[in-house]
């Protein structure tokens, strides 16, 4: 039996559907999915099997114009994921077409090592008519020599099987790089922290979600098969702490319940989750916070 394995980087603008596609490919929720942009910070890898091929998806942060140190580290992580991958899939939102951001990404692709295989996936195809799709596909292929073009809906699953089959044929011959039953290479501590951060992102609005991070401080396995997880939510200001806690602690309680339920479902066992909120004014300038998120602090310079 000839086995294949390879890393596939999903790149695109924020909200293009990279996390949704990762989860659809893997068949489980390994990447944070919200309606907010810029929610994926670390290069989360999901592992999918397709026949004799193992596909390792690198779900990069969305590519956008960076302003802050954290932004710069996220963009560096995204391009780093693309440069290291065997295949790159550029996701474009069908209804948004060729934006300034997409043009910047295509310019960036041209600077990658020669011979890098790049596929185009036009996502959210259910939002536009066929003639618009065809015109968009032609426009993009005129701008860059894509190895293949796919019309998909990551949310509904349209066209995803064709993309996965093509990827399985294109990744290099190689022994499998992960156990067959493994779906992500992130430490469980980080996945649990991401799940809590997703609940915070969904519950809180405006700028606050980008001013906070979640870390799993302790993970204690118990004799009855359950686990106690202690997490810290770091915020930048005192006022933010009050927002996260909510009136009489109602907000943090609801977030904790939602996060615990999701972690339990993911692990298939009982979890005791304890959340604490701490103010760290300059957490976005602390190297330790970046390493917890899987980002390189130096890339933010």
Is 61 annotated as belonging to a binding site?
Answer: yes
Q: Is the pLDDT of residue 185 over 70?
A: no
pLDDT at 152 over 80: yes
Q: What is the pLDDT of residue 253?
A: 94
Q: Known binder of ligand: residue 103?
A: no
Q: Are the CB atoms for 88 and 9 separated by under 8 Å?
A: yes
Supply the pLDDT for residue 295: 56
Tokens linked to 226: 């359950």
Place of tokens 């068949």: 27
SS3 state at 124 = coil
Rounded CA-CA distance 234/281 in Å is: 9
Higher pLDDT, 30 or 199: 199
Mean residue pLDDT of the chain comes to 79
213 is in an annotated binding site: no
| Mean pLDDT (whole number) for 255-264 | 91
**Residue 174 known to bind ligand:** no
Distance of alpha carbon 188 from the chain centroid? 15
* Choice between 151 and 21, residue whose per-residue pLDDT is larger: 151
How far from 182 is each of 28, 179, 196, CA to CA, in Å?
11, 5, 22
- Predicted local distance difference test score (pLDDT) of residue 70: 54
Angle between helices 250-267 and 188-203 (to 10 degrees): 140
On whether the CB atoms of residues 136 and 123 are closer than 8 A, the answer is no
Q: What is the pLDDT of residue 162?
A: 96
The enclosing H or E element of 10 equals strand 4-12
pLDDT band per the 50, 70, 90 thresholds, residue 38: very low
Find out whether 62 is annotated in a ligand binding site.
Answer: yes
pLDDT of residue 37: 41
- Other beta carbons less than 10 A from residue 99's beta carbon: 12
pLDDT (0 to 100) of residue 22 = 84
Poorest-pLDDT segment among 80-89, 108-117, 125-134, 285-294: 285-294
Sign of CA dihedral 98, 87, 121, 143: positive
Residue 274's pLDDT is what?
Answer: 95
Question: Is 27 marked as binding a ligand?
Answer: no
What average pLDDT does the segment 175-190 reach? 67
Is 60 annotated as belonging to a binding site?
yes
The answer on whether 15 is annotated among ligand-binding residues is yes
Higher per-residue pLDDT: 236 or 77: 236
pLDDT of residue 292: 52
Domains of the chain: 4-170 (3.40.50.300), 188-300 (3.30.300.20)
Least confident span in 40-54, 61-75, 114-128, 278-292: 61-75
Which pLDDT belongs to residue 34? 42
138 labelled binding-site residue = no
Q: What is the mean pLDDT of residues 172-180?
A: 81
Q: How confident is the model at residue 2 (pLDDT cuts 50, 70, 90)?
A: confident
> According to the annotation, is 139 in a ligand binding site?
no
* pLDDT at 61 exceeding the cut of 70: no
pLDDT value at 125 more than 70: yes
Q: Is the predicted pLDDT of residue 74 greater than 70, yes or no?
A: no
Answer with the residue of higher pLDDT: 285 or 235: 235
């Amino acid at each position: 039996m000839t086995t294949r394995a390879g890393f596939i980087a999903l790149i695109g603008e924020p909200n293009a559907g990279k996390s949704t596609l990762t989860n659809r490919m893997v068949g489980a929720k390994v990447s944070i999915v919200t309606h907010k942009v810029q929610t994926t910070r670390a290069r989360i890898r999901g592992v999918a099997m397709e026949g004799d091929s193992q596909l390792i998806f690198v779900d990069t942060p969305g590519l956008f114009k960076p302003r802050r140190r954290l932004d710069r580290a996220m963009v560096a992580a995204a391009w780093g994921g693309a440069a290291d991958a065997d295949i790159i899939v550029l996701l474009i939102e069908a209804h948004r077409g060729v934006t300034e951001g997409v043009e910047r990404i295509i310019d960036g692709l041209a600077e990658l090592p020669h011979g890098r295989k790049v596929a185009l996936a036009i996502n959210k195809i259910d939002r536009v008519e066929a003639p618009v799709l065809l015109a968009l596909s032609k426009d993009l292929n005129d701008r860059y020599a894509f190895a293949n073009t796919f019309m998909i809906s990551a949310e509904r699953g349209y066209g995803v099987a064709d993309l996965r089959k093509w990827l399985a044929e294109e990744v290099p011959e190689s022994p499998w790089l992960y156990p067959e039953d493994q779906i992500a290479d992130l430490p469980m501590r980080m996945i649990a922290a991401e799940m809590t951060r997703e609940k915070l992102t969904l519950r809180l609005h405006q700028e606050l979600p980008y001013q906070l991070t979640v870390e799993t401080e302790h993970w204690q396995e118990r004799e009855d098969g359950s686990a106690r997880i202690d997490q810290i939510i770091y915020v930048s200001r005192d006022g933010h702490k009050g927002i996260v806690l909510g009136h009489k602690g109602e907000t943090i309680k609801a977030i904790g319940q939602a996060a615990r339920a999701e972690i339990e479902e993911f692990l298939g066992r009982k979890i005791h989750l304890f959340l604490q909120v701490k103010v760290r004014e300059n957490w976005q300038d602390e190297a330790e916070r970046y390493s917890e998120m899987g980002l390189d602090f130096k890339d933010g310079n």
